């Protein structure tokens, strides 16, 4: 019978094309608007490091102003000072650890027609790639000496390799960064975590960096940061670049991989001892405080999905409800117009429940068509949002299959909600009235 009801539904939709189009449009606009917001919220609230959520930790140390707590959710600076990062790198407790920050270089290639361009870079220790499961197309990370010595090597993402070397295996080839030659040691395959969990301080929804260079290059290139470097002890920054490196400015993101609770406990003991040692030397004057946050906690602490987005999600659902109420009125008009036919069907043996199901399936058919149209509306909405955000939400402004299915599901639910009362009304009309007067 379901197939029969579906065929009746499609026939009914064809018989009243304008009314049907209005209902589909009401559902499509409501679902499209809701799915635009819900998709962005869903994509923003994803955890790209979910598979390593129980072993990765973002490290925070409270080296902040003794007179004023830092203005973060847990009152500990998001980032570390350079000197603390260097000290932590010396620990052999974590399975892997990475100190890093964002920077940028001018990229050139000798003997090439490539026009110089500015590219964002991640200055990082070598464990970055293994710690965040970055896939390599060619080669691999640099050796550990490069994180301490000045070794001019670079890892290129596939997109940069395509641009600079036309996609060929560039291992061992040279690329010029800020006028200095760098040797390519690895090319990574497509990798673009969204949100960019490893660095939420620099636009969590922007693309991953275009270059990766070793953490040992700071002094040679006087690398500072393309990001936040706030500090509370402004005095030391005036002592030149070395002063900056030794200052209380926080600008280094730090992650560790700890395989189990025991290792985590060891590392916490190590951090406690480190802070106590620094306290003895006059630093870390606030009460001893540090934090190790899993990626999921890190996303929550950083409020990647802001309250505004949540409110917007509810507003979009309220708009969908308005569309559903419109759908109720349109469906009621459509179904009551067909009351004589319902009367005939009752006379021929249809029960009230059979008529109810038949009309509910007609509502569902409108929902499915409205859902498909809603996906198109949502794709347009997401594309527009992406355009308006000018690159800030590029990695999350897309709709995956799950959200497309969710759009159909939402449209189905909305249409069934809209169709429930009209279907009930038509199934409970007195058939005798229409049989005599039709």
Partner 1 sequence: MLKMHNIRKSFRTDTIETHALRDFSLEVKEGEFVSVTGPSGSGKTTFLNIAGLLEPSTDGQYLLDGEDVSNLNDRQRSHLRNEKIGFIFQGFNLIPDLNLFDNIDVPLRYRGFNAKERRKRIEKVLEQVGLSARARHLPAQLSGGQQQRIAIARALAGEPRFLLADEPTGNLDSLMARQVMELLEFVNEWGTTIVMVTHDPDLARRAQRNIQIVDGQVCDLRPVTEQSDAVSA
CB nearer to partner 1: pick between 9 and 40: 9
Give the pairing type, strands 153-157 and 180-188: parallel
CA 427, 432, 436: angle at the middle one, nearest 5?
130
Q: Supply the minimum distance, in Å, between the C-beta of residue 18 and partner 1.
A: 16
Q: Does 2 bind partner 1 (CB under 8 A)?
A: no
Among 149, 273, 376, 435, binds partner 1 (CB under 8 A): 435
CB nearer to partner 1: pick between 51 and 428: 428
CB nearer to partner 1: pick between 5 and 205: 5
Q: What are phi and psi of 118, to 5 degrees?
A: -95, 130
Q: Does 347 bind partner 1 (CB under 8 A)?
A: yes
Distance, in Å, from the CA atom of 383 to the CA atom of 375, rounded to the nearest integer, reads 12
Q: Does 349 bind partner 1 (CB under 8 A)?
A: yes
Q: What are phi and psi of 202, to 5 degrees?
A: -115, 85
Q: Does 348 bind partner 1 (CB under 8 A)?
A: yes
Which span sits near partner 1 by CB under 8 A: 181-189, 248-256, 282-290, 335-343?
A: 335-343
Q: Is the dihedral of CA 162, 163, 164, 166 positive or negative?
A: positive
Q: Does 207 bind partner 1 (CB under 8 A)?
A: no
Which span sits near partner 1 by CB under 8 A: 11-19, 73-81, 171-179, 244-252?
A: 11-19
Distance, in Å, from the CA atom of 119 to the CA atom of 134, rounded to the nearest integer, reads 19
CA 183, 150, 220: angle at the middle one, nearest 5?
110
Q: Supply the minimum distance, in Å, between the C-beta of residue 336 and partner 1.
A: 16
Q: Does 11 bind partner 1 (CB under 8 A)?
A: yes
Q: Does 337 bind partner 1 (CB under 8 A)?
A: no
Q: Supply the minimum distance, in Å, between the C-beta of residue 328 and partner 1.
A: 24
Which span sits near partner 1 by CB under 8 A: 36-44, 136-144, 253-261, 342-350?
A: 342-350
User: How distant, in Å, are the alpha carbons of 321, 375, 412 from that of 26?
Assistant: 10, 13, 13
CB nearer to partner 1: pick between 90 and 436: 436
Which span sits near partner 1 by CB under 8 A: 10-18, 77-85, 138-146, 206-214?
A: 10-18
297: DSSP letter: H
Closest by CA position to 72, among listed 200, 193, 206, 254: 200
Residues 211/121, Cβ–Cβ less than 8 Å: yes
Distance, in Å, from the CA atom of 116 to the CA atom of 221, rounded to the nearest integer, reads 19
Residue position matching structure tokens 């407790």: 93
Among 4, 117, 314, 421, binds partner 1 (CB under 8 A): 4
Distance, in Å, from the CA atom of 178 to the CA atom of 256, rounded to the nearest integer, reads 30
Residues 368-427 touching partner 1, rule: CB under 8 A, are none
- Tokens found for residue 187: 């090319």
CB nearer to partner 1: pick between 31 and 342: 342
Q: Supply the minimum distance, in Å, between the C-beta of residue 13 and partner 1.
A: 11
Q: Does 18 bind partner 1 (CB under 8 A)?
A: no
Residues 171/186, Cβ–Cβ less than 8 Å: yes
Q: Does 332 bind partner 1 (CB under 8 A)?
A: no
Q: Does 1 bind partner 1 (CB under 8 A)?
A: yes
- Residues lying near partner 1 in the complex (CB under 8 A) are found at 1, 4, 11-12, 15, 340-341, 343-354, 430-432, 435-438
């Amino acid at each position: 019978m379901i197939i029969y009801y579906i065929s009746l539904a499609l026939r009914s939709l064809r018989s009243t094309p304008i009314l049907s189009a209005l209902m589909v449009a009401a559902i499509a606009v409501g679902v499209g608007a809701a799915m635009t917001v819900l998709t962005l919220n869903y994509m923003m609230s994803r955890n790209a490091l979910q598979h390593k959520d129980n072993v990765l930790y973002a490290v925070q140390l409270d080296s902040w102003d003794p007179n004023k707590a830092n203005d973060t959710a847990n009152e500990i600076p998001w980032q570390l000072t350079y000197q603390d990062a260097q000290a932590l790198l010396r620990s052999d407790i974590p399975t892997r650890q990475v100190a890093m920050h964002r920077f940028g270089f001018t990229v050139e290639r000798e003997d090439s027609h490539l026009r110089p361009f500015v590219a964002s870079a991640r200055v990082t220790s070598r464990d970055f790639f293994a710690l965040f499961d970055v896939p390599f197309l060619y080669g691999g990370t640099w050796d550990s000496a490069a994180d301490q010595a000045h070794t001019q090597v670079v890892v290129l993402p596939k997109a940069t390799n395509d641009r600079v070397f036309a996609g060929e295996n560039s291992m061992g080839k040279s690329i010029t960064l800020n006028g200095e030659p760098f040797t390519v040691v690895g090319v990574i395959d497509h990798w673009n975590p969204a949100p960019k969990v490893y660095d939420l301080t620099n636009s969590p929804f922007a693309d991953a960096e275009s270059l990766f260079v070793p953490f040992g290059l700071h002094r040679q290139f006087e690398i500072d940061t393309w990001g936040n470097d706030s500090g509370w002890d402004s005095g030391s920054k005036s002592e030149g670049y070395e002063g900056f490196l030794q200052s209380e400015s926080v600008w280094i993101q730090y992650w560790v991989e700890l395989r189990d609770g025991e290792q985590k406990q060891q590392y916490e003991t190590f951090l406690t001892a480190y802070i106590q040692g620094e306290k003895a030397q006059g630093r870390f004057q606030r009460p001893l405080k540090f934090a190790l946050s899993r990626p999921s906690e890190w996303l929550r602490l950083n409020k990647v999905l802001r309250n505004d987005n949540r409110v917007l999600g509810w507003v979009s659902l309220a708009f969908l409800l308005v569309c559903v109420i419109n759908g109720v009125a349109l469906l009621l008009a459509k179904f009551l117009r067909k009351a004589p036919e319902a009367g005939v069907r009752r006379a021929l043996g249809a029960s009230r429940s059979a008529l109810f199901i038949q009309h509910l399936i007609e509502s569902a058919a409108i929902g499915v068509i409205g859902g498909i149209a809603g996906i198109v509306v949502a794709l347009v909405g997401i594309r527009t949002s992406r355009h308006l955000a000018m690159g800030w939400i590029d990695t999350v402004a897309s709709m995956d299959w799950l959200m497309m299915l969710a759009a159909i599901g939402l449209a189905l639910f909305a249409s069934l909600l809209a169709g429930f009362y009209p279907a009930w009304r038509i199934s409970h009309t007195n058939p005798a009235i229409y049989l005599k007067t039709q």
